[in-house]
A and B are shown apart, each in its own frame.
Chain A
Amino acid sequence: MRIQDPRLHTFVALSSVLTGVETVQLFGTGQAEAYLVTLGKILPVALLDDLFKRFEALPAEEIEAAVEHQVLDDTRLGCVAQNIILMWYRGVWRRLPDDWRASFGAFPEDENHLISGAAYQAGLQWEIAGAHPIGARHQGYASWSLVPTKPNRRNTA
């Protein structure tokens, strides 16, 4: 998979709406491909195709409301979309809920796991909060004593 891959762009564009973080920052984590590969290992191709097609069909204006109603509120796609949010913020895959698995399939790779040590460090939860992943990407001696940098309040994309 390459950065020009349209499927990767669709995944990151959807992820941007779900996470509230610009696509350039998501690519900048270095984890976009790894997360899409993870999704591909865990979930059937048809399910991912449905997710991406649903997103691509949404109107560009008021995209947040459209994603909320067409993706997050969907009983089949919503849980997957929430897991995508958690994957970006935490670097982990969380096993889908039991009732989802009963309805749509219990896939063998669908188990709680950390994607990788790099994914842990790239988790958005730290930087968004004006912090750094605990144990990595330190901010430097005495930086902790300064007024925190004002976290970016809105996605300006």
Chain B
Amino acid sequence: MSILDRRAIMVDPGVLKNSGHYDAIIVGSGVAGAIIANELAQAGKRVLIVEAATETDRSFKGYSSYLQHFYGQADKDNQSPFPVNRNADMPRSGQLRKLDPLEINSTSYIVQSGPYVTDTVYTRAFGGTTIHWEAKTPRMLPQDFQMQTLFGQGKDWPIRYHDLEVDYELAEREIGVSANVEDQQYLDITFRSSYVYPMHGLPLSYLDQRVAAQIDGSEVELYGERYPLRVRPFPQGRNAIPNQKYDGGKGYQPVGAVASHQIDVGGRCQGNTNCVPICPVQAKYHAGKTLAKAFDTGRVDLLSQAVASRVVIDSASGRVTGIETKLYHDPASPDHHTIMITGTLYVLAGNAIETPRLMLASGLRSSSGLMGCNLMDHAYLLNWALMPQICGTMRGTTCTGGIVELRGGAFRRHQATFSVDIHNDGWGWATGSPASDVVELVDAGNKFGADLRQAIIDRVSRQLLLAFMIEVLPSESNRVSVNPSYTDLLGNMRPVVSFTVPDYTLRGAAYARQFAKTVFARLGAEDHTKYDPSDYGFVTYEGEPFAIRGGNHLAGTHVMGTDKATSVVDTNQRCWDHDNLYLVGAGSMPTIGTANVTLTLAAMAFRSARNMIMQLGRLHAPVQT
């Protein structure tokens, strides 16, 4: 019998009334919620997952329906596989426009209160944003945990790299990371002796190799220090060739597609160049893979189409007594009824926008006053050029390699670090290529026939796009808030985002642009970068124009710390104010360095799950007399 047939997962809301028998109620089925659900269930605990979206992609058929939806969309934006569901709405980047001073735009799901307009997105679907993520899984650098101590910038974490090291290994196992340790040992990233990743690294693309041929071994100088450059492969949360040395020689069994019957997909990455917004073959990890294991225990129930609307607190003890939840029957209709869901522990695993949004909508600002503050996301600066030779662009995973040597260094006292992605999908992100190239060649170039064909080869297969993922530090004024004027169809308050790109980041962006020009010159590549003043992400710094893109790496809004006056959660992501409530995810991260946040938040989920199991053990222990 298959994994999914063993458990009728959709629970009848009627049985939840006065249930009280769940050890944990988890709001959100993304990677953090999924890992915690599975860890608790493996430890014998009973769990209910509350998911706002439908459970469409829980089945292979449902997952395939997302793919068909993607193929059929004229505008393939990064949420295009996921049909609109106004009861559990999500940001979509096609809906944005530049704001006038003091203007607020409430026409998109995230209310943009400016001054900068963020095109960051997250996916409200079963499996959360892992259904959409690119699955790049670098660890944070040891120095990223001590930004204040080492560089006088941002905040220090209350834990260090070595505190997370074993949990990084657990996260890499759960996600199924493909990488080679020798490629990832840089800037003091350490691995325990004899550690190997579950799978061998994916090979660099031919485009990466062409870039490497010209820049490997060269250097750049920054604030008097020299940094050697080379193209390195990124660790990736997608299936490659299993490493037989893994786990002391036991090897690793890749996790294929989640399905209710045996199917021949979900093996190795096949190079669809479409990690975002959906991997067509489920070679990429998504939280559904962890959830399938969790459901298999028989101890995890799922309540889908259930939108958590209010966290209810006992005012005397501060403990959570229940979560008011709105159940809708049809994504096309706002008809719903409201129930109270209760358990022993409560875990909010939305994301760094949805979790503080729910807390603030419940009137819970944290005694620190920091709920929703310190919103971070990587700022992306795109630079694009034409290589002098055919490079076979638009093949591979979205990104296989990049330049990461400037993720750390003494210059962090002055300006932000960055990690550079070499995009295998050409100029697509920046210009809409190749469609934009074809249109331009036909309309402006009057090309047709053999000339057109040759021009397309020449234009598309030489494209190089360097995406600079630039660090953003915490700032209390960058924040998520709520306002009763802005609600969704169910009457829940929508997130209001206020954001400014800090000068520290813009100094990093200015250097990134200069760095790109240097690299292009070394490659003999023709720079085609231009930033349009009407772009919603347009900013200027010291007279230089830039267009900044969001990175969908949301973090910081329920910051972790050592005391309740200066942080929202403790080092186990438990709320200082509410001892049976955990806020999990990148929202707990005090800083994000230049690591895509998912691996780190997954590692933190393992840490929190251990703490929850201990707390449940204490609560259920016989009373000593």
Contacts and interface: CB of A to CB of B under 8 A. Distances in A.
Nearest to B400: A144
B457 interface: yes
Interface string A77-116: 0000110011001101010000000000000000011101
Contacts of B452: 19-20, 85
B270 A145 contact: no
Contacts of B435: 90, 92, 125
A6 B311 CA distance: 69
Interface stretch (B67-75, B333-341, B565-573): B67-75
Nearest to B205: A144
A151 B392 CA distance: 10
B142 to A, nearest CB: 31
A126 B392 CA distance: 11
A144 B209 CA distance: 11
Contacts of B390: 130, 148, 151
A135 B391 CA distance: 20
B74 A113 contact: yes
B395 A144 contact: yes
B272 A134 contact: yes
Interface size class of A (residues with CB under 8 A): 35 or more
Contacts, number: 173
A64 interface: yes
Given A86-B439, A148-B392, A129 B71 contact: no
A128 interface: yes
Nearest to A94: B439
B285 to A, nearest CB: 16
A11 B181 CA distance: 56
A142 B239 CA distance: 12
Given A19-B449, A117-B71, A144-B396, A135 B280 contact: yes
Nearest to A145: B203
A20 B453 contact: yes
Contacts of B457: 128-130, 151, 153
B395 A148 contact: yes
B215 to A, nearest CB: 18
Interface string B426-469: 00100000110111001100101111111011001100000000
Contacts of B268: 141
B424 interface: yes
Contact of A145 (B206, B278, B450): B206
A130 B395 CA distance: 9
Contacts of A140: 270-271
A18 B449 contact: yes
Nearest to B446: A72
A120 B76 CA distance: 10
A43 B160 CA distance: 67
Contacts of A125: 434-435, 437-438, 456, 460
Contacts of A126: 394, 434
Contacts of A153: 454, 457
B73 A114 contact: yes
Given A64-B450, A147-B392, A148-B391, A90 B438 contact: yes
A56 interface: no
Contacts of A132: 271-273, 394-395
B244 to A, nearest CB: 17
Contacts of B206: 144-148
Nearest to A93: B74
A4 interface: no
B209 A145 contact: yes
Contacts of B31: none
A126 to B, nearest CB: 7
A155 B450 CA distance: 6
Contacts of B461: 129-131, 148, 151
B49 interface: no
A118 to B, nearest CB: 7
Please indicate which of the listed interface residues A72, A121, A142, A154 has the most CB atoms of chain B within 10 Å of its own CB.
Answer: A142
Contacts of B394: 126, 129-132, 134
B439 A118 contact: no
Interface in A32-58: none
Nearest to A152: B453
Contact of A135 (B71, B74, B396): B71
A29 to B, nearest CB: 15
Interface centre among B393, B395, B424, B452 (most CB of A within 10 A): B395
Interface string A48-74: 000000000000000010011000100
B105 interface: no
Contacts of B281: 138
A126 B442 CA distance: 16
Contacts of A134: 76, 272-274, 394, 425, 428
Interface in A1-34: 17-21
Contacts of B400: 144-145
Given A128-B457, A131-B395, A138-B271, A145 B438 contact: no
A136 B71 contact: yes
B424 A144 contact: yes
Given A129-B461, A155-B453, A144 B392 contact: yes
Contacts of A136: 71, 272, 274, 280
Contact of A116 (B72, B278, B439): B72
A142 B267 CA distance: 13
Contacts of A81: 448
Contacts of A64: 448-450
Nearest to B451: A20
B382 interface: no
Given A146-B392, A154-B454, 8 more contacts: A120-B72, A128-B456, A128-B457, A135-B71, A144-B271, A145-B204, A148-B390, A148-B395
Closest A-B pairs by Cβ, 7 of them: A117-B71, A148-B392, A144-B396, A131-B394, A135-B274, A20-B453, A129-B460
18 contacts: A18-B448, A64-B448, A64-B449, A67-B449, A89-B438, A89-B442, A89-B456, A90-B435, A114-B74, A125-B456, A126-B434, A132-B395, A134-B394, A142-B202, A144-B271, A144-B397, A145-B206, A148-B390
